[in-house]
Structure 1
Amino acid sequence: MRRLILYSRSYCHLCDDMRLALLALSPTVAQWLEVVDVDHDPAALALYDELVPVLIGQDDRAEPRMLCHYFLNEAVVREFMADAT
């Protein structure tokens, strides 16, 4: 199973921008996307505090990997999604 995990925070305009850009990218994204507020998750905060927004691609077959941070890298996300089909 593939997932996209967006680590963000509530008052971050870059986080909002990345979430909206992801949802506009493909209807499939909405099914895969999980949004995690780093300010409510101590482990995520320790990893991604100053990097948010951070987009992680997770696949059952491989280790999770950072796809992009601060700004959406559409090409990398499309590649990750294409590998699932």
Structure 2
Amino acid sequence: MNSATNPRRVVVYGREGCHLCEDMIASLRSLQKKIQFEFEVINIDNDENLIQLYGERVPVLFAVEEQKELCHYFLDSEAFNAYLA
């Protein structure tokens, strides 16, 4: 597959028991029914570097291709749609 047909990829950096993280993940799963993209969830508590980087500022939605943060705490639909466009 070439890059034009590969779906966009994002990562949700979060932690267990985080209701904001659960909300963002649920929103992304809902959007996946309408828009093609892939996402994975990474628990920052398993990585000291991620804890240092994000701390209490989770969830963080991170654009894999651009290597940049799209939003944190809540899904920013405008930023996410711009990334997918």
TM-score by length of 2: 0.82
Q: Distance in 1 between matches of 2:40 and 2:84?
A: 15
Tell me the equivalent position of 1:36.
Answer: 42
Percent identity between the aligned chains?
A: 39
Deviation of residue 23 (structure 1)?
1.2
Amino acid at match of 2:76: N
**What CA RMSD, in Å, does the superposition of the two structures yield over aligned residues?**
1.3
Tell me the equivalent position of 1:5.
Answer: 11
Aligned with 1:36: secondary structure? Answer: strand
* 1:77 aligned onto 2:83: no
Aligned with 1:71: secondary structure? Answer: coil
Richer in helix (by share): 1
Deviation of residue 26 (structure 1)?
2.7
Tell me the equivalent position of 2:63.
Answer: 57
* 1:26 aligned onto 2:35: no
Amino acid at match of 1:66: E
Deviation of residue 10 (structure 1)?
0.7
Aligned length: 77
Tell me which of 42, 47, 54 is aligned to 2:53: 47
Deviation of residue 47 (structure 1)?
0.4
Q: Distance in 2 between matches of 1:48 and 1:26?
A: 25
Unaligned runs of 5+ residues in structure 1 are none
TM-score by length of 1: 0.82
Amino acid at match of 1:15: C
User: Of the two, which has the highest radius of gyration?
Assistant: 2
